[in-house]
Each structure stands twice: as structure tokens, then as C-alpha cells.
């Protein structure tokens, strides 16, 4: 995990000096302040054009506007819908650019689209961004089934680039830091959150009823991205509220 603050760059167990010199510079130039590399050798990833899986991924975080996030504790609004779309578009552009940098150096790379629901029955994408992020050590999964980071809480969107570069991987996050907090569970209007604490390998179904969540959004918030956004559970997360105070 790599976090840049105003004074200095702070690293987790992965030493920044072990990364190729161009990569931290690229991240800094794009104002990406939280990123890392994930070991995905035990997972099946979307294949490249030859049908080969990828052994690893670069995961990074783009924060949402904290003032917009703090304003949706009672439900999404147009400002949130616009911010959601803006950040997703920004992530897709960043991932495309980083893939070009990696392939230009002779490696394989492939971006994972932001918030792209490719399986409408199971309500999921090609690969969980959160899996790459937790394996890269960027945070943990909260009781609202979203990644929580120390700097920004869950008020973030995630980018993932599958690749085969030889980079320092992890360390993987192995536990949650939600304590006994149930604010997201209590706030969920769909009653879709089950209150279980995350650990690596816990099935999504043990955290959230995705169909109940999806149905509530389509019934009440269809005007925002065809009912694909809500954000209430994230808006009430204490880790996100802390980021607003810092901002």
C-alpha cells in the first residue's frame, strides 16, 4: 500500500524503491495517492486476447467528493449521480493510459472497467475490484460490502489493471476494522445488509442480499443511472465522515 500525504510518502511492507522508477512517478503525475499491486495467482481473471489469465493486478483508489458523499445519507441526488459518473469515467481513462504504459514496456496488461455490470442475473462484473484492492492491501471490505480505506473511508471508486509485471505484491489485508459498528446495516433502506464482518474468502451473499439492494434502487432511484446507485450505506460510514472532517 502506498499513501502520499502532504509531508512525505508512506509505504506499507512494499518498499517504494522496489517498484520500477517510472511507476510511482506516473501515479504521482496522475494524483493517485493510494495504490498497490495484488497477487491474483489463486484467482481466475478475465483472460487476455490469447486466453491467458493474469497473475497480478495494480489496484488504485480515486476518492469521491466528500461533501457530496456526506449529503446523501437520506438517499442519492443528482450531484452524487454526476460525481459517480465523473469518477468512473476518470478511472476508465486512467486505466487505459496505464495499460498503454505497461504494454509499451513489453508486458501484458488489461483494464477492468469501472462499475461495469456484465452479469445482470448475478449482478456482478467480470472481476471484483475489491478483491484486487484487498489483495493489494489498500483496505478491507465493510459490512456494506464496499472497500474501506484509512484515508478516505469507503467514499472511493476503484481502478484495476491486470498485468504480468514483476512488482512487490501486497501485503494482503487479512481482517476488517469495523469493530462492532453497524451504522451501514441500520441505515440500509432495503434491509439488504446482513451485518456479518468480512474476512478474506467470505462469500458476498453472507454480507449483502444483492437482489434486495438492486430492487430497492430500481424502485426508488431509477432516475439515477437506471437505478444502479444509492450510496446511503457508504455515506453513513464513520471512516468516510472522518475524511470529510479532514477535508
Q: Are 153 and 61 in contact (CB under 8 A)?
A: no
Inter-axis angle of helices 22-29 and 78-103, to 10 degrees?
150
Between CA 30 and CA 115, with CA 171 as vertex, the angle to 5 degrees is: 50
CA distance 71 to 174: 32
pLDDT bucket at 56, cuts 50 / 70 / 90:
very high
**What are the sequence ranges of the domains in the chain?**
2-246
Model confidence over 212-226: pLDDT tens digits? Answer: 999 999 999 999 999
pLDDT bucket at 92, cuts 50 / 70 / 90:
very high
Model confidence over 161-220: pLDDT tens digits? Answer: 999 999 999 999 999 999 999 999 999 999 999 999 999 999 999 999 999 999 999 999
What pLDDT, on a 0 to 100 scale, did the predictor assign at position 2?
52
Strands 109-112 and 156-163: antiparallel
* Closest by CA position to 35, among listed 43, 26, 44, 48: 26
Q: Are 131 and 137 in contact (CB under 8 A)?
A: no
CA distance 207 to 142: 9
As a whole number, mean pLDDT of residues 32-55 equals 97
CA distance 94 to 100: 10
Amino acid at each position: 500500500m502506498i499513501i502520499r500525504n502532504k509531508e512525505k510518502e508512506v509505504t506499507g511492507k512494499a518498499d517504494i524503491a522496489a517498484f520500477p522508477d517510472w511507476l510511482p512517478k506516473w501515479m504521482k503525475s496522475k494524483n493517485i495517492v493510494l495504490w498497490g499491486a495484488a497477487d491474483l495467482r489463486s484467482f481466475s481473471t478475465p483472460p487476455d486476447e490469447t486466453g491467458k489469465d493474469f497473475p497480478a493486478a495494480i489496484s488504485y483508489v480515486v476518492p469521491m467528493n466528500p461533501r457530496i458523499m456526506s449529503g446523501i445519507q437520506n438517499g442519492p441526488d443528482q450531484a452524487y449521480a454526476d460525481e459517480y459518473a465523473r469518477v468512473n469515467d476518470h478511472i476508465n481513462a486512467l486505466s487505459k493510459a496505464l495499460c498503454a504504459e505497461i504494454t509499451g514496456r513489453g508486458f501484458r496488461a488489461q483494464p477492468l472497467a469501472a462499475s461495469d455490470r456484465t452479469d445482470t442475473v448475478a449482478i456482478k462484473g467480470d472481476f471484483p475490484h475489491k478483491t484486487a484492492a484487498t489483495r493489494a492491501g489498500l483496505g478491507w471490505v465493510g459490512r456494506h460490502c464496499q472497500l474501506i480505506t484509512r484515508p478516505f473511508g469507503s467514499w472511493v471508486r476503484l481502478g484495476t489493471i491486470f498485468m504480468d509485471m514483476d512488482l512487490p505484491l501486497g501485503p494482503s489485508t487479512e481482517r476488517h476494522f469495523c469493530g462492532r459498528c453497524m451504522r451501514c446495516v441500520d441505515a440500509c433502506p432495503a434491509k439488504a445488509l446482513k451485518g456479518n464482518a468480512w474476512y478474506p474468502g467470505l462469500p458476498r451473499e453472507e454480507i449483502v442480499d444483492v437482489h434486495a439492494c438492486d430492487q430497492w434502487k430500481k424502485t426508488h432511484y431509477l432516475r439515477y443511472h437506471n437505478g444502479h446507485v444509492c450510496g446511503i450505506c457508504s455515506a453513513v460510514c464513520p471512516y468516510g465522515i472522518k475524511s470529510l472532517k479532514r477535508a
